[in-house]
C-alpha cells in the first residue's frame, strides 16, 4: 500500500544530519525524495566509513534510504538549468545552505517561487534569522551547548559535567521539527494551493524541546523555583542493578512507590524520619534512588 505522502516529490539539497533526517522520514511516509549531491558526494557520505563500504559511511546510509541520488554541480549553469527543470514537478524544496549563497545560485525563495508558486520552500538553519546569531553556522554540539542541554548531565555529586548527550539529538529533534513544519505547509498547500516559506532553526527547535520540563519553576511569573526539572536531573536517575540483571522503575504516585518499596523490604519508606525531614524535592528524589540501590 502506498504511504500517505505518495505522489509528493521533494527536492532535497540538505547535508549532514538535521535536514537529511527530516527528508528520510518524509521518504518513509511515501514521498519521492530526490537528493541533490555535489560532484564528489555529500559531505556526510564518507563519514564513519567501513572497510566493506568505502564509498558510503553508516550514518549516510541510514539517512539516505528512500532517496534518489542525483549529482549536479550548481556552480555550472548547465546543471543549474537541470535543477530548474525539476522545480515545476516538485511540491517541496528543502536545503540548509546560507540564504546569500542560494540567492547567488538562483535558488533563493523568491527565485524558486517565481518558477513554482505552490512550492513549499523549507530552509533548515542553525539560528533564527531574526535573532542575534542569525546567519551563523551551527552543528549539533554547538546547539546542545547554546540551548543549555550540555548543562544537564550531572555527576554523582550533582555538579554539571558540561557533556553532550551521546547522540546527535539536537540535529534529529530539529529534523523532526522540519518534518512537522513541512507536513503542515503541505496541508496548507492542499487546502489553498498556496506554497509557503518555512524556516526551521536548530537552536529554537531544540530549546523548545528541552523547556517542556526544564523551564520548571520559571514557567510561572514570578518564578516559584529554579530552572531545571528536579526529578529529571537527578544524578542517580538510572537503571538499578539486581542479582539477575538491570531494572528500570517508575512507580506511579506515592502509593505506588510505597508499595514498590515494600516489595523490596522497606515497609514504611515515606513515613521514615529521613524522608519526612528531607527539606527539598531534590533530597527526597535522592533518598528514593538511594533506597532503590
Which residues have a catalytic role annotated? 171
Based on its alpha-carbon atoms, the radius of gyration of the chain, rounded to whole angstroms, reads 24
All residues at 6 or more sequence positions from 88 whose CB lies less than 8 Å from its CB, including other chains: 115, 116
Judge if the upstream peptide bond of residue 221 is cis by omega within 30 degrees of 0.
Answer: no
For residue 96, give the C-alpha cell. 540548509
DSSP for 264-287?
Answer: TT-TTGGGSHHHHH--SHHHHHHH
What element of type H or E holds 109?
A: helix 109-115
SS3 210: helix
CA distance 287 to 293: 10
b/e string for 94-119 if b means 16 or more Cβ within 10 A? bbbbebeebeebebbbeebbeebeeb
Secondary structure of 19-85 in the HEC alphabet? HHHHHHHHHHCCCEEEEEECCCCCCCCCCCCECCECCCCHHHHHHCCCEEEEECCCCCHHHHHHHHH
Amino acid at each position: 500500500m502506498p504511504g500517505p505522502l505518495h505522489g509528493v516529490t521533494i527536492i532535497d539539497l540538505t547535508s549532514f544530519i538535521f535536514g537529511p533526517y527530516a527528508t528520510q522520514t518524509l521518504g518513509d511516509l511515501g514521498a519521492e525524495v530526490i537528493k541533490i549531491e555535489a560532484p564528489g558526494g555529500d559531505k556526510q557520505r564518507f563519514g564513519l566509513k567501513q572497510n566493506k563500504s568505502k564509498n558510503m559511511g553508516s550514518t549516510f546510509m541510514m539517512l539516505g534510504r528512500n532517496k534518489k541520488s542525483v549529482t549536479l554541480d550548481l556552480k555550472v549553469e548547465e546543471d543549474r538549468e537541470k535543477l530548474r527543470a525539476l522545480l515545476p514537478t516538485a511540491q517541496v524544496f528543502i536545503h540548509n545552505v546560507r540564504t546569500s549563497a542560494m540567492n547567488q545560485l538562483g535558488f533563493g525563495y523568491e527565485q524558486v517561487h517565481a518558477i513554482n508558486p505552490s512550492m513549499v520552500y523549507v530552509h533548515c538553519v542553525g539560528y533564527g534569522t531574526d535573532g542575534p546569531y542569525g546567519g551563523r553556522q551551527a552543528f549539533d554540539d554547538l546547539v546542545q551547548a547554546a540551548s543549555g542541554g550540555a548543562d544537564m548531565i550531572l555527576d554523582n555529586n550533582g555538579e554539571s559535567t558540561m557533556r553532550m548527550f551521546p547522540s546527535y539529538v539536537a540535529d534529529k529533534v530539529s529534523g523532526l521539527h522540519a518534518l512537522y513544519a513541512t507536513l503542515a505547509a503541505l496541508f496548507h498547500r492542499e487546502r489553498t494551493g498556496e506554497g509557503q516559506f518555512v524556516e526551521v532553526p536548530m537552536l529554537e527547535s531544540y530549546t523548545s524541546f528541552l523547556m517542556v520540563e526544564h523551564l520548571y519553576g520559571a514557567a510561572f511569573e514570578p518564578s516559584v523555583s529554579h530552572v531545571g526539572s528536579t526529578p529529571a536531573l537527578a544524578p542517580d536517575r538510572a537503571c538499578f542493578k539486581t542479582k539477575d540483571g538491570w531494572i528500570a522503575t517508575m512507580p506511579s504516585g506515592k502509593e505506588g512507590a510505597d508499595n514498590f518499596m515494600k516489595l523490596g523490604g522497606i515497609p514504611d519508606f515515606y513515613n521514615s524520619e529521613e524522608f519526612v525531614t528531607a527539606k527539598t524535592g531534590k533530597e527526597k528524589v535522592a533518598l528514593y534512588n538511594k533506597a532503590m540501590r
